[in-house]
Chain A
Amino acid sequence: MLGWLAIPSALLGALVLGAVMMLALGANPLTGYRALLVGAFGGSYALGSTAFQAAPLLLVGVGICIAFRANVFNIGGEGQIAMGGLAGAATALAFPELPSVVLIPLVLLAGTAGGAIWGAIPGFFKAQYNVNEILSTIMLNLVAVQVMNYLLAGPMVDHSQASVGGLIPETQLLSRNAWLPILVPGTQLHLGVLIAVLVAIAAYLLLWRTTFGFRLRAVGLSRDASAYAGMPVKRTIVWAVTLSGAACGLAGSILVFGSISHRMVTDGSLTGFTGSAGFNGIVVALFGGLNPLWTIVSAFLFGGLIVGGSALQVATGVPSDLVTALSGIVVVLVVSLEYLRRRARSQSTALAAFGGANPPTLRRGEPPPAAAVGGDGA
């Protein structure tokens, strides 16, 4: 049955198209993919870097899963990550002296809170005023980038630069006590990776094992029926987006305190800080069938893709944008094959799967809301 194959075959299709592109650009696909594989998974250091890249992707992906199950399409990840990073950095700047055991949890929580707030706003607007979240989250991204640039160039800037007549918009070196400890020496595998995985597992339990998750999924699939059943629909929606933002905010914090430079820097764009995790996280979540557990797998896959991307660039001279293009293709293929899968599946109605450990498919368990985007309201 295609259901099984939908996602792997999407990946395959993308790789084939990628090979075609490389050929077109006069590079040898085999060399390219070998470099990509080795760069991503060859050896402990490579694996560490992959995990390092995967952590934020996983957190954002989990956030996407949660929101999506409530029929909210959160494409404000970029902004929420930035806000999380800022909140975390500000906290570290404020209490540099606190011991690690206190400061690390504190900055992570601060980041989570920062993202949560940035997510709660569109959530509230959607629930209360029926404002389409796609729009409000995108707008809030635009606000976030400016706020970030303002804070990093002004209030939070590293003043010691003045002595060398420079003002790069970046914080000073953040308190050592806030740095995320490296778990495997000689690699970049830091505590953040572990945290991300735990969060993903927690999210899975929340969605499919708790009454809150039940309510969240019910609201996502039918606001009317949920209201009729006496569920607090609006509150649930706000919570869903808030949690989604929280996960992204945590990702932001981890980006800062797990970074090599241990500062928060901006080049004027959100991407400069997030590395597009806010969007790639959507790909990751989708590739994980909008199920937090499978999202763990896909996050590491895409983390590897990103790490391998630079290796590919060095080896073949094909810009690492290829990876971005490929992930785009993966998304398109997954959602397209999803329809064929659905058709194939409806051939045997008995296969109306629920929960359980069936292979990854976009619509795992009951399908996520049909029109998260068409959604309701303007």
Chain B
Amino acid sequence: GSSSSPAPVSSAAAPASVAPAASSSVTPAPAATAPASAAAAASGATSATTLKVALVAPSAVNDLAFTQSMVEALNSIKARYNLQVAISDNQFVVSTAANVIRSYASQGYNLVIAHGSQYGSTLQQLAPQFPNVSFAWGTAGSTFNQPNIFAYQANSNEGGYVQGAMAAMLSTSKVLGVIGPIAVGDAKLYVDGFCAGAKSVDPTISCIPVYTGSFSDVSLFATAAKTFVSNKADVLTGTAQAVVGAIGVARADNLPWFGTQWTQVSLAPHNVVSSQIYNWAPILEQIITEIRGGKLGGATYTVTLGNGGETIQFNSGFNLPANVKAKADELIKGITDGLVNVPQ
């Protein structure tokens, strides 16, 4: 998902630049993941008060994608940070989700995470009504200039670029199947990055993304994948929690699949080449530290390959040609070091 703020927010342009330093947004120091979080842990431990955190997510907690990435992150830190976590998943109906978010806010939760860009317009309305509650909204580049909204996003175009390059090298038909939900936020970034990466290897390759119009409709994704296959595509990728549909097709036709948001190996052990994985833990740690420090929002965080918030996980179950693996490693390093500039 991504922002949908009516008023163009300057920080919304954040993802444009990739190097952490250049980012207008507050991003954890490169080494943040290990020591910094330890520090945060310390501060968390010292604060006796448990923090009440609510997560409202559009799909199932175990969707192997968008929602699960956040759930896992929460679980990984809640002990250390003394969090009391409540989760409402499958809130794909925006109006219902709005009510859920609102009732969490009114029930004295300290942090309400609205995990889905479609919730943005709701937060924009609710945040002012609950000034003492901190809201986190992702994936989005905008806080609506609200003092109690944190925004978080993912530069999924980076992993997309790497995987696109690999896909181009694996494809013999030179037709790639790329499926997205709606041309928005990390989905759009991933899809664009993927095609850019593919073209960087083979400018002539066909990489026409199809957007199904739905984050949740599994069968639409399956149908889109089927249609791609019937039109000669021999490598598939997709983003959103509905990809399981497409993965089914990849598995049935035994085609390589590239995942994003979370690992999807379990869905097709021999077809998933690699997955770009979001790790929101560092960001959550920062947000919680901020809240304990009395700051309820106003910052935008971004996970990148560079800051360890994104990692490419290779699937041992797929025997990847050495040259492809090498190319991938080279790109990852390049992007991390800011040498390779991933276009938007």
Residues on A lying within 8 angstroms of B by beta carbon are: 39, 45, 49, 52-53, 149, 153, 158, 160-161, 163-170, 172-173, 188, 255, 259-263, 265, 267-269, 271-273, 275, 307, 310-311, 313-314, 319
Contact = CB atoms under 8 A, between A and B. Distances in A.
A158 B8 contact: no
Interface of B: 1-9, 12-13, 86, 88, 90, 92-96, 98-100, 102-103, 106, 117-118, 120-122, 124-126, 140-142, 182-185, 188-189, 212-217, 344
Nearest to A277: B95
Given A260-B102, A261-B121, A307-B99, A168 B184 contact: yes
Contact of B3 (A164, A267, A307): A164
Contacts of B182: 167-169
A172 B7 CA distance: 10
A52 B102 CA distance: 13
A160 B4 CA distance: 8
Contacts of A263: 121
A166 B183 contact: yes
Given A153-B213, A166-B2, A166-B3, A255 B12 contact: no
A157 to B, nearest CB: 10
A53 B95 CA distance: 10
A166 B121 contact: no
Nearest to A255: B95
A168 to B, nearest CB: 5
B122 A319 contact: no
Contact of B96 (A39, A153, A163, A310): A310
Most buried by A among B1, B2, B212: B2
B95 A273 contact: yes
B70 to A, nearest CB: 17
Contacts of B344: 165
A55 to B, nearest CB: 12
Contacts of A255: 95
Contact of A261 (B5, B124, B189): B124
A268 B220 CA distance: 11
Nearest to A171: B121
Contacts of B94: 261, 265, 267, 272
Contact of A167 (B88, B106, B184): B184
Given A168-B117, A173-B121, A261-B124, A269 B5 contact: no
A173 B125 CA distance: 10
